[in-house]
């Protein structure tokens, strides 16, 4: 069954102002945002898949459809990821960035990546540490440090074995399976980082599956419609630290925001962010040149930390823009606030799933789409930031 055949095109304008929701009881000691502006969706009823569509609550499905169509962002609660794990992931990430620069630079992604050769080597790409300003968005340096982690494929994974039997060096087109062969440069100075990320990944993949059941139902599809798209997900985690700035720093010509305005290229993003982060993640509320934003500050609802979730470009493509891939940016925290740490989890398809990514192109593997995005990112860095 082709998904596009089931969906009717709908415009992509932000159609109504986000409603305001007040959150309920808050665990002592956890930060509180009393006035969140994005919809809050409870996914606890999508925890299991062994039911017929009728089993799932209509009102939640409608609320989710509305959020995806009109906002593109929502707060997910009932996602199943324990608060303690979310907070521990942020804490170990802060410890990672607190390591000396000389240590962090031993794990620099530029050491493992030759931008001119991505897709033609046997070296993997993109994983590891990026220093302040190394990422570029809209021709300006982003004011953050990052550590990118990609799914590692098992030694006997079919894509790895296929790649091993291919002479990619002589291929004319970049081989997306190069993504499949890399290993993350886990810092040996902080062994708990790898362990914590492994736990975080397992829990976030389950949350992703939960949310995708809701999204399938919200599109009028069978609850398990997307399961085979994700059962071997090539997920990505970005660990990020945004330093706080004063007024003079924030006007630098070379640097833009903590992260410049963009939409996410992939499927579905979950942001786990410091609970004291205020007014940093900005969500664009219109498509006109006079941009307006709402702030997606962290919220805690009935003692659970919500995950800020947004639709990426691929869901938007395959739903013919019915679901919005909303632009957003991260504004640096203002001093005297401390730096902000976030660990967005990008819930992505299997590398070898075929997708119709846009109307003019024929179907391609998700891996092909991804490798082109990554190559463009590195080209931006080379051409425009230097």
Ligand X SMILES: O=C(O)CCC(=O)C(=O)O
Note whether 148 binds Fe ion by CB under 5 A.
no
Residue number with CB closer to ligand X (90 or 181): 90
Q: How far is the CB of 154 from ligand X (least distance, A)?
A: 26
Note whether 282 binds ligand X by CB under 6 A.
no
Q: How far is the CB of 238 from ligand X (least distance, A)?
A: 5
Note whether 368 binds Fe ion by CB under 5 A.
no
From 65, 68, 207, 281, residue interacting with ligand X (rule: CB under 6 A): 281
Q: How many CB atoms lie within 10 A of CB 333?
A: 21
Residue number with CB closer to ligand X (211 or 330): 330
Evaluate the CA torsion angle 355, 357, 362, 368 in order and state its sign. negative
Intra-chain end-to-end CA distance of the chain, in Å: 47
Tell me the C-alpha distance between 224 and 202, whole Å. 19
Q: How far is the CB of 58 from Fe ion (least distance, A)?
A: 31
Q: How far is the CB of 215 from Fe ion (least distance, A)?
A: 18
Q: Which residues pair with 342 in a beta bridge?
A: 240, 273
The entry of Fe ion, ligand X, none that residue 240 binds, CB within 5 to 8 Å by partner kind: ligand X
Note whether 328 binds ligand X by CB under 6 A.
yes
Evaluate the CA torsion angle 229, 230, 236, 237 in order and state its sign. positive
Q: How far is the CB of 62 from ligand X (least distance, A)?
A: 27
From 273, 285, 325, 326, residue interacting with ligand X (rule: CB under 6 A): 273
H/E stretch holding 283: strand 281-284
Q: How far is the CB of 348 from Fe ion (least distance, A)?
A: 13
Are 75 and 40 a contacting pair, CB within 8 Å?
Answer: yes
From 77, 96, 239, 271, residue interacting with ligand X (rule: CB under 6 A): 271
Residue number with CB closer to Fe ion (213 or 340): 340
Evaluate the CA torsion angle 265, 196, 114, 181 in order and state its sign. negative
Note whether 283 binds ligand X by CB under 6 A.
no
Q: Which residues pair with 329 in a beta bridge?
A: 282
List CB contacts of 51: < 8 A, sequence separation 6 or more.
Answer: 223
| Contact pattern from residue 209 through residue 248 relative to Fe ion, giving x for each residue in contact according to CB under 5 A and a dash for the rest | ----------------------------------------
Note whether 145 binds Fe ion by CB under 5 A.
no
Tell me the C-alpha distance between 386 and 382, whole Å. 7
Coil, strand or helix at 332: coil
Instruction: Give the nearest residue (CB) to ligand X.
Output: 342
| Contact pattern from residue 336 through residue 355 relative to ligand X, giving x for each residue in contact according to CB under 6 A and a dash for the rest | ------x-x-----------
Residue number with CB closer to Fe ion (136 or 223): 136
Choose the stretch contacting Fe ion; rule: CB under 5 A; options: 105-113, 258-266, 318-326, 374-382.
Answer: 258-266
Residue number with CB closer to ligand X (40 or 330): 330
Name the phi and psi angles at 261, rounded to 5. Answer: -70, 135
Q: In what order do the strands lie in the sheet with 328-330?
A: 259-262, 328-330, 281-284, 293-295
b/e 138-177 (16+ beta carbons within 10 angstroms → b): eebbbbbbbbbbbbbbeeebebeeebeeeebeeeeebbbb
Residue number with CB closer to Fe ion (129 or 265): 265
Note whether 330 binds ligand X by CB under 6 A.
yes
Judging by DSSP bridges, how do beta strands 40-42 and 73-77 pair with one another? Answer: parallel
Within 260-299, the residues that bind Fe ion by CB under 5 A are 264
**Contact positions toward Fe ion, by CB under 5 A?**
264
Report the interface residues with ligand X, using CB under 6 A: 238, 240, 259, 264, 271, 273, 281, 328, 330, 342, 344
């Amino acid at each position: 069954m082709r998904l596009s055949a089931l969906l009717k095109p709908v415009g992509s304008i932000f159609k109504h102002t986000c409603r305001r929701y007040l959150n309920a009881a808050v665990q002592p000691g956890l930060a509180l945002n009393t006035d969140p502006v994005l919809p809050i969706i409870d996914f606890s009823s999508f925890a299991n898949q062994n039911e017929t569509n009728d089993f799932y609550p209509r009102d939640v499905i409608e609320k989710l459809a509305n959020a995806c169509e009109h906002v593109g962002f929502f707060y997910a609660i009932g996602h199943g990821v324990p608060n303690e794990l979310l907070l521990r992931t942020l804490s170990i990430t802060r410890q990672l960035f607190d390591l000396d620069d000389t240590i962090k630079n031993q794990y620099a992604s530029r050491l493992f990546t030759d931008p001119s050769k991505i897709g033609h080597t046997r070296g993997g790409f993109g994983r590891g540490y990026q220093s302040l300003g190394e990422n570029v968005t809209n021709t300006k340096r982003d004011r953050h440090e990052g550590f990118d982690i990609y799914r590692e494929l098992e030694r006997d994974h079919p894509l790895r074995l296929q790649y091993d039997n291919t002479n990619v060096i002589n291929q004319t087109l970049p081989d997306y399976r190069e993504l499949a062969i890399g290993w993350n440069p886990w810092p040996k100075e902080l062994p708990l980082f790898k362990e914590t990320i492994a736990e975080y990944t397992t829990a976030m993949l389950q949350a992703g599956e939960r949310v995708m059941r809701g999204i399938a139902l919200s599109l009028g599809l069978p609850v398990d419609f997307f399961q085979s798209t994700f059962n071997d997900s090539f997920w990505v985690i970005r660990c990020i630290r945004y330093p706080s700035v004063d007024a003079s720093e924030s006007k630098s010509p070379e640097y833009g925001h903590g992260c410049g305005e963009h939409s996410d290229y992939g499927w579905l993003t979950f942001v786990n962010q410091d609970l004291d982060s205020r007014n940093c993640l900005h969500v664009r509320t219109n498509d006109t040149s006079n941009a307006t934003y709402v702030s997606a500050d962290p919220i805690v609802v009935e003692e659970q930390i919500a995950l800020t979730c947004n639709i990426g470009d691929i869901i938007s493509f395959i739903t013919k823009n019915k679901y919005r891939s909303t632009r957003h940016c991260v504004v640096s925290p203002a001093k005297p606030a401390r730096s902000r740490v976030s660990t967005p989890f990008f819930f992505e398809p299997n590398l070898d799933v075929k997708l119709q990514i846009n109307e003019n192109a024929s179907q391609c593997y998700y891996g092909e789409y991804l490798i082109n995005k990554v190559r463009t990112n590195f080209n931006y860095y080379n051409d425009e930031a230097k």
